[in-house]
Structures are given as structure tokens and as C-alpha cells.
Amino acid sequence: MNETKYWTWFMAAGVVILVLLGLHMMIMHLGAFTHLFVVDKGVEATAVVNSQSRDANLFFTITYVLLLGTALFHGLYGLRTILFELTLKKSMEKALSVLFIVLGLGLFCLGTWAAFTAHANALKAPAPQAAVSEGR
């Protein structure tokens, strides 16, 4: 029954990833057309000034962490499924599950720390709007 639980969350994570990656595409790669969350329209959406302004927004920090969590779970569970189809021994399956849990949690903690550090640094940095106006 555990697999039912994992699989249900795997599917739910897929839907969340679809929404968040759609948002990512709209902001980062179609920024020239959408101008979503772009404070300085003179440069690309991926420029430091625009990136810093998004980092300062808690909404983005939370979505980064959410995307990281769902992508890690979805990806690692998918990889585990592929490996399990190689007719492994029960002990090997257990070891792989533990490895993926440790790896996933480790990467999630690292990514979360990075996202919140970027958020804190962006708050300390001069306001992007001001930087833009000074630059001009």
C-alpha cells in the first residue's frame, strides 16, 4: 500500500511541476514578450537586476523550494521505479530506497538553504528599482 501513497504523490508532484515550470517558462524564457516580474525591461529576465528583484520576493523563494521538493521527489521516485524493474534483491531495493531518501533530503535542505540565503541577500542589497533608475 506504501507504493500507492508514493505513486499518488508522484502524480500530484507531476501536476505541480507542470504548473511551476509553465510559470518558469513564462517568466524566464518568454520574458521579452510577457514582461512578467521584470523590473528592468531593458535587460533580459535572467539579468542580475531582475533575478535579484525576484529573489527579494518571498513568493518566489517559496515557489523555488516547492519546485525543488516536487522535482526531487518526482525524479528520484521515477529513477527508483526504473531501477526496481531490473529485478533487484529485496535488500538492494531497501538500500536504494534509503539512499534516495537521504540524497533527496540532503539536496532539498541544500537547495532550501540556498533559496532563503538568496532571499536574505536580495533584501539586504539596494532595491532593484533604485539600481535601475540610478543606472539610467
Give the residues lining the site for another protein (CB under 8 A).
Answer: 1-5, 7-8, 11, 81, 84-87, 93
Residue number, 1 or 130, with CB nearest to another protein: 1
Residue number, 8 or 121, with CB nearest to another protein: 8
CB of 64 to another protein, least distance (A): 28
CB of 5 to another protein, least distance (A): 6
Residue number, 80 or 119, with CB nearest to another protein: 80
CB of 76 to another protein, least distance (A): 15
What does the block give as the cell for 57? 520576493
Residue number, 7 or 113, with CB nearest to another protein: 7
Q: What is the dihedral of CA 49, 52, 111, 60, to 10 degrees?
A: -120
| Interatomic CA distance for residues 32 and 28, integer angstroms | 9
CA distance to 19, 60, 80, per residue, from 5 (Å): 22, 28, 15
| C-alpha radius of gyration, the chain, whole number | 19
Closest by Cα among 136, 111, 125 to 54: 125
